[in-house]
A and B are shown apart, each in its own frame.
Chain A
């Protein structure tokens, strides 16, 4: 068995799988059952002045037969008094001393408010705090959640206030509802954050009912924007994690969140710089027992790779994530159709003909059977045909060895700048369109 233990900014956990702050971590009953099922840690449902939720709260986007491709909610933070939560947190920690309990907090951007809640929560013995600057809906009028998480100066200041009072590690949870996630990540670090977690949910409206014209979900005929999560947001979350991981001004451990549904997703987040991961939607969709497959899958993967510890994976793909301008323009792939596996459905031909570079030709062989062939010299290697092909392995993207040294756009532009614009040779007769 590989070593699955992690240490995120001083928070030890038996494995990298934590439940994110959300309905699965609402009560002691739930978190204790989650720990029994195998979850390594839990970020308790956000505590603050207890709120009142609406009755209709969730909606999902089902896509082409897959249920819950995306999940939308208009739920707020905990609706239970602080003392009730603290009592259950205490009991849970007592029963599971080796598991990580992090408590999510959200109060008004006032120093004394933060000091008060931090002291009360830490007094009962928790492993860390997570500051929820990301809740996309609700209580913006009091400057909480995303309302403060979108302003780097407020993120920095509130983190600083928390750090003045906190004894345990402080994780700042970032909202993705911002253009440049590193702006707030850096602000959190300037404020003294020990770690960051991302992403919270993305502003969303799950749908409009075209029969009733109501929003989905609606509360008695009215809707409000919600937060989107689940598998659909994974690529957005992964990019944001990567952007933080490769920014030297961030430089603190990352707890990766957003659309993680299985051990493979978790490995991707860890490779992109997360020390551990947090999961909400997948647990809401399938229950706590999904963690068993996650633990088994991760363990088998590490053993297959010959690695002893999950920590050996952290950040291994970060250096491979760069700027577009640094990519090698001389690198080339072309599509190749494997005639044995191709079912001649024509999808690739249509895709290339209508929306790419018109280089998949239809031919007929000597027996009158149709087959498709890529005119490789015109193929730009866009991958579209292999994306739309319904048959695994029918189209391979083949690397075309280059005789040239790597050439990036930035190198090209530097070379052009070095040679200059020339002196605009006189006489149109001298100019030749080649």
Chain B
């Protein structure tokens, strides 16, 4: 899988949660990548391990947009 395809895979997963109204509630950076914690207004929580550099950049853009909204 090319780096781009891997990125698109990660981006799509993140987008899927965001479309379902999840918001980012935490980011834990580590050796394996960044754990992105997401929470649904209904209370459901999940965490995604984001590995590719482009996806880690992508969610940072989302995070900044999210912080502007609140």
Contacts and interface: CB of A to CB of B under 8 A. Distances in A.
A419 interface: yes
A360 to B, nearest CB: 13
Given A407-B61, A434-B13, A425 B51 contact: no
Interface in B1-45: 2-4, 9-10, 13-14, 24-29, 35, 37, 45
A407 B9 contact: no
Interface string A377-416: 1100000000000000000000000001101000110011
B25 A422 contact: yes
B49 A432 contact: yes
Contact of B3 (A357, A407, A425, A430): A357
A343 to B, nearest CB: 27
Contact of A421 (B14, B28, B55, B64): B28
B61 A404 contact: yes
Contacts of A433: 48-49, 51
Interface size class of A (residues with CB under 8 A): 20 to 34
A424 B28 contact: yes
A230 B24 CA distance: 53
Given A422-B25, A434-B9, A416 B60 contact: yes
Interface of A: 329-330, 357, 359, 375, 377-378, 404-405, 407, 411-412, 415-416, 418-425, 430-434
Interface of B: 2-4, 9-10, 13-14, 24-29, 35, 37, 45-51, 55, 57, 60-61, 63-64, 67
Question: What are the 10 A-B residue pairs with the smallest beta carbon separation, nearest first?
Answer: A422-B26, A422-B37, A377-B4, A412-B60, A434-B13, A433-B49, A416-B27, A431-B47, A425-B47, A434-B10
Given A412-B57, A418-B67, A434-B55, 11 more contacts: A375-B2, A411-B64, A412-B63, A415-B63, A421-B26, A422-B28, A422-B35, A424-B26, A424-B37, A431-B47, A433-B51
7 contacts: A405-B64, A415-B63, A419-B26, A421-B28, A422-B26, A422-B27, A432-B13
